[in-house]
Structure 1
Amino acid sequence: MNNAAISIYLDTRHKKANGCYPIKLRVYNPVTKKTKLYPFTKIKSEINNKADILKIINEGFTMQLALDKIQYSNKPRGTNLKLKFFLNECMHKSSNIAESLHPFSFEKFEKEMFDNIPANGNLSSCYQTKIEVLENHHKIGTASNYKLSKKSLDQFASTISKEISFNSITPDFLESYERYMLDELERSETTVSMYLRALRAVYNKAIDDKIIFPEQYPFGKYKYTIPTGDKVIKALTKEQLASLFNGIPKTLEQQKAKDYWFFSFYAQGMNIKDIALLKFQDVKEDSIQYTRAKTKNTGRKKQKIIYITMNEYILDFIKRYKTLSSSPKDHIFPILTKGLSPHEQHKKVKSFTRYINQHFRKYAILNGINEAVSTYWARHSFTNTLINNGASIEFASEALNHSDIRTTQNYVAGFEENRKKEMMKELLKFQLDE
């Protein structure tokens, strides 16, 4: 008698980007009344051309009936025949293991079923899967970060004659990688943090999907801790803002950069990508209403709408820089054109951001500001101005569309440090006055 019920299950809880659902091995323990689902990519098989089978499995099925036709067909052909053999093999193997366990436990079942599967090589495919998911959701910038993360880890591994895999990456490996990045390549802690947070996300997903065991996780207490990154709050003072706002640019490029930078500032720190994506339909009588590109396609049922109150600067900016089109669904500003793919949009926005930063820095230097001021400073400067004018953290968090108020608190903590330094300078002035 079986201690557990084994079946092949169409997981309709998780719809894939192509509209299909993944199939998984379903194991039910009647004693504890608990069910677990396992991806077929974990199951070792002797069948030829397993890659072809996994491709079909990864694509998924639209309905249970389509899966049943393959599983119970008397005359399957070609790849469907191989898929049927593979599924039957998995069922047979898992049923035999379940029958041999007295009493049955998921821990013992997983050890018998999956322990002999080498983890080497799986990390690269998990990275690639994550990148494809991000690209399918038009998260091109984030996908690019995952690519850079994997490339950086590959480069380090090659220096010690290793290949990255779930087995080779240990806390010691990550400690060595951090030293390599900081000491040899002279990269910042922020870069290390960014790359390793991507790696950690890949590990978490692999554990959720039962591709690896939790014991293989190299992060956390008594293991490896990702550096927090350089906490540098980049904001302009009230005096610097006044100098830049009232200053006169020397070139048309500097004027354009100045105008876009201050539009971002007055639009509550709106980033260049969101500015580029603004459409005429987003402009209402007394406000701009839009959803941040960063939060789109994140699985949230209801996307949060950000409201930007109109003022004279915003109205004048739109009037001067808007395109000639008046179609509600057309972009307001001539940064993006119709028909661009997500990758092409990403390149255009990146190029335009670089253009604004390049010319705004030149303009800032003309006004006695030698720091590398960028569009990113507009958001922090907006926040700094709010806080200095007495706004509460809750108000600032709402204006910035932070989902977690702790993010806003981190901003404010940085500003407080700057204030402390200025206050200490004031306290020591009496020494100079004597």
Structure 2
Amino acid sequence: MATVKIVLRKNYKKKEGTFPIALRITQNRKSRFIFTGEYIKESDWNSKEGLAKKSHPNSKRLNNYLLKKLSEAHSVALDVQTNQNSTSSNIIKKKIVGKDKMDFFEVSKIHLSAIRKRKKIGQLRTEEGRLGIFKDFLGTSHLHFSDLDVILLKKFQNHLLYERNVSTRTAINYLILIRTIYNLAIKEFDIDSKSYPFGKDKVQIKLPESEKIGLNKDEVKLLEEAQNLTPPQQVAVHIWLLSFYFAGIRIGDVIKLRKSDFRDGRLHYRMDKNEKLVSLSIPEKAKAILDIYTITKEKNDLIFPFLQESDIKNPKKLATRKNTITRSINRRLERVANKLGIDKKLSMHIARHTFGNLSGDKIPIQMLQKLYRHSSITTTVNYQQNFMHKETDEALDSVINF
């Protein structure tokens, strides 16, 4: 016998601190959830009764609505089990929901909630912005998955490329986001995959190759030996060099480094991007720079002063501050490049490319995977191919040099 209960889905949380109320259908120890479209704070929810407390401003009206939904669900579940020999929570759910009544933007809220829970504020802002642009393009805040077809996606892609003038890669990122939400809907809410608009003979997502250019040895030496820089420019160069010396550590991690992260001749830190623990030997060149900044005692044990007055425990404010710092440092690096006659665009991002460029074919790919902190060696191979030219150069020479 299937059981139907009203529950609070605590693994999804909205900005204002409310959680979605859902019907949970359990059959043969497997559960499916149907979202009611209503949200409530945990403090206003009676989990034992599966209803809103009196503290909720519209508790009576909300509870009447929920009880009606519960009654309808019980009736459908009973009817399905009476008329079918084999039933599952999935079959019962489909009968209750009907065909494709889940809204794309409702599922997108669930997706964003998961990102917020992981405290990936930068990703959250980016994807909220992209969904806002998609919503503006549609001219509505409602979209059934049955209406999200190939024609609509092609029109949106053209809108991005030719009206908003975004790059091909950026347009692909929008499509990846839409596909991610569609996949979530199929997995969590049993949206019919027959109308899935992605894949062969539909909308295919192919990432364009991006050109990755790093500095050469002479250009790195120019930075190491730079003279007559302003104090802010010198700090920017030191941060860039530290990133390079530690195999392309990201700027968000560099500015969060503490004196306590350096011990026993090694750097120990947790990557901000994926929370991996990293341990690297401290090169002598890096030690020389660190010695400059460890003389003075900064707040929070920080090496650099940028985050002294920031609330490090507030992910949203910290993400905003990091973006501001990154822009500022990149502007300083551009001025340094002009002073030193470096004609490549100098930014924090190409510190990692520079390490890849100079390592080239010298280091085994397995070791590079460890240095780059990649989860998959395929990622390392694809990345390093941008800088490995020895074999192709020799092959070319063997043909034309006769």
Shorter-chain TM band: 0.7 to 0.9
CA positional deviation for 1:87: 3.9
Does structure 1 conserve the Cα–Cα contact (< 8 Å) formed by 2:257 and 2:304? Answer: yes
SS at match of 2:107: helix
Instruction: Confirm whether residue 246 of structure 1 aligns to residue 246 of structure 2.
Output: no
Does structure 2 conserve the Cα–Cα contact (< 8 Å) formed by 1:23 and 1:60? Answer: no
Instruction: Confirm whether residue 223 of structure 1 aligns to residue 202 of structure 2.
Output: yes
CA positional deviation for 1:426: 6.3
**Separation (CA, whole Å) in 2 of partners of 1:423 and 1:127:** 50
User: Equivalent residue for 2:105?
Assistant: 124
User: Equivalent residue for 1:346?
Assistant: 319
Q: 1:284 to 1:396 in 2, by over 3 A?
A: same
Q: Map 1:100-179 to 2 at 5 A.
A: 100-101=79-80, 102-103=83-84, 104-106=86-88, 108-115=91-98, 118-119=101-102, 122-158=103-139, 166-179=145-158
Does structure 2 conserve the Cα–Cα contact (< 8 Å) formed by 1:264 and 1:272? Answer: yes
SS at match of 2:263: coil
**Separation (CA, whole Å) in 2 of partners of 1:347 and 1:419:** 42
Q: 1:425 to 1:242 in 2, by over 3 A?
A: farther
User: Equivalent residue for 1:318?
Assistant: 290
**Separation (CA, whole Å) in 2 of partners of 1:371 and 1:289:** 32
CA positional deviation for 1:346: 1.7
Gaps of 5+ in 1: 43-53, 297-303
**CA displacement, residues 349-375 of structure 1 (integer Å, 9 cap, x when unaligned):** 112211222222232244443222211
User: Equivalent residue for 2:181?
Assistant: 202
Does structure 2 conserve the Cα–Cα contact (< 8 Å) formed by 1:235 and 1:381? Answer: yes
Q: 1:282 to 1:70 in 2, by over 3 A?
A: same
Amino acid aligned to 1:406:
T
SS at match of 2:78: helix
Does structure 1 conserve the Cα–Cα contact (< 8 Å) formed by 2:261 and 2:267? Answer: yes
274, 280, 283: which one aligns with 1:295: 274
User: Equivalent residue for 1:50?
Assistant: none
**CA displacement, residues 287-307 of structure 1 (integer Å, 9 cap, x when unaligned):** 1101011114xxxxxxx3101
356, 370, 393: which one aligns with 2:329: 356
**Separation (CA, whole Å) in 1 of partners of 2:302 and 2:2:** 55
349, 352, 365: which one aligns with 1:393: 365
Count of residue correspondences:
395
Structural RMSD (CA): 3.7
SS at match of 1:293: coil
Does structure 2 conserve the Cα–Cα contact (< 8 Å) formed by 1:247 and 1:367? Answer: yes
CA positional deviation for 1:117: 6.6
Does structure 1 conserve the Cα–Cα contact (< 8 Å) formed by 2:269 and 2:279? Answer: yes
CA positional deviation for 1:395: 0.7
CA positional deviation for 1:203: 2.2
**Separation (CA, whole Å) in 2 of partners of 1:222 and 1:105:** 35
User: Equivalent residue for 1:55?
Assistant: 39
User: Equivalent residue for 2:350?
Assistant: 377
User: Equivalent residue for 1:37?
Assistant: 32
145, 161, 165: which one aligns with 1:186: 165
CA positional deviation for 1:77: 9.1
CA positional deviation for 1:260: 1.2
User: Equivalent residue for 1:413?
Assistant: 385
**Separation (CA, whole Å) in 2 of partners of 1:415 and 1:198:** 29
**CA displacement, residues 227-284 of structure 1 (integer Å, 9 cap, x when unaligned):** 3134222322334323433343544443222211111101221111111222232121
User: Equivalent residue for 2:3?
Assistant: 6
75, 95, 112: which one aligns with 1:96: 75
SS at match of 1:41: strand
CA positional deviation for 1:377: 0.7
**CA displacement, residues 173-204 of structure 1 (integer Å, 9 cap, x when unaligned):** 11222223223433212211222222222222
Does structure 2 conserve the Cα–Cα contact (< 8 Å) formed by 1:145 and 1:195? Answer: no
User: Equivalent residue for 2:303?
Assistant: 332
Gaps of 5+ in 2: none
- TM value normalised by structure 2: 0.83
Instruction: Confirm whether residue 67 of structure 1 aligns to residue 47 of structure 2.
Output: yes
| Higher strand proportion | 2
Does structure 2 conserve the Cα–Cα contact (< 8 Å) formed by 1:387 and 1:396? Answer: no
Q: 1:151 to 1:274 in 2, by over 3 A?
A: same
